[in-house]
Amino acid sequence: MPELPEVETVCRGLADALIGDRFTRITLRRENLRFPFAAGFAESLTGPRIETVGRRAKYILMQFEGDTALIGHLGMSGSFRIEKDVDPGTPLDPHDHVIFETERGLRIRYHDPRRFGFLLLADRASLLDHPQLRGIGPEPLGNEFSGPILAERLAGRKSPVKVALLDQSVVAGVGNIYACEALHRSGISPRRLAANVGRARAERLAAAIRQVLEEAIASGGSTLRNYSQTSGELGYFQHHFDVYDRAGTPCTTADCTGVIERITQAGRSTFFCPKCQR
């Protein structure tokens, strides 16, 4: 599933192309994705100018002049592809489920083979109180996130810290890949109980989360299966993984002689070095 860096990269691509533009035609090629499309979905988004495109956790938020907003989620395999000067006769892929056409002559295809993504209409005035967004924790790249804040949110939790980091009420947007990478960088075992992380480790972990997310965004995200940027270009942060999907290889930490291991936590693969992560 695309995580914060992948969604941020998609948002930046959409923002660069769409802010100030408007949709002139929206074609729904099926009745639903993960959820059915709202009645009047295409009509509600056709006409008003697009004012902002942003992100909250792993959600894409598009706000239009007036009262309308769009909440998007890429699910497991969703992607947006921005195209210009497309020949109308160019065939579409069977998994291109929504086609957006704009006043500036752009065509944006929402492609989703597994259809776990969704596009929901929302009221702009109460956007952040929408059920999909309510209760999400602090943005890890924002000023509201820090070591003390993370320590406070982990305090009293009896789950392993890796599992706690995947809880979006603890910190927004962090998924399996970047939790593994941040824990390795901060030298914290994914098996350590969240309640036992403490202030000093939380400071290291918060800094590592921010660092790894910023580096991944600069690399266009990580492409493991379906993810691509709005241009169609793949992300390449996967070439810089220290632990994720590297079981059996030597640890990259200086002077560490450990070997990366894989365990399962809450049904997800966790990769770590048992020697330097404590």
- Active-site residue, from 55, 58, 109, 192: 58
Distance, in Å, from the CA atom of 250 to the CA atom of 256, rounded to the nearest integer, reads 9
Q: For all residues of the chain together, what is the average pLDDT?
A: 96
Report pTM: 0.95
- pLDDT on residue 226: 78
Architecture of domain 147-272: Orthogonal Bundle (1.10)
- Active-site residue, from 3, 6, 8, 181: 3
Residue 224 CB neighbour total at 10 angstroms:
16
**CA nearest 186: which of 172, 173, 174, 200?**
200
Place of tokens 């892929």: 93
Distance, in Å, from the CA atom of 64 to the CA atom of 273, rounded to the nearest integer, reads 47
- Active-site residue, from 22, 124, 268, 275: 268
pLDDT classification of 76: cutoffs 50, 70, 90: very high
CATH fold match for the domains 4-129 and 147-272: no
58 annotated active-site: yes
Chain segment 224-255, per-residue pLDDT in tens? 877 889 999 889 899 999 999 999 999 999 99
162 annotated active-site: no
Q: What percent of the chain has pLDDT over 70?
A: 100
Chain segment 141-178, per-residue pLDDT in tens? 999 999 999 999 999 999 999 999 999 999 999 999 99
pLDDT higher than 90, residue 194: yes
| Domain edges within the chain | 4-129, 147-272
Q: List the structure tokens of 208.
A: 């590592």
**CATH number belonging to the domain at 4-129, selected among 3.20.190.10, 3.40.47.10, 3.40.50.300, 3.40.50.1580:** 3.20.190.10
Strand partners, 54: 61
Chain segment 82-101, per-residue pLDDT in tens? 999 888 778 899 999 999 99
Q: Which residues contact 196 (CB under 8 A, 6 or more apart)?
A: none
268 annotated active-site: yes
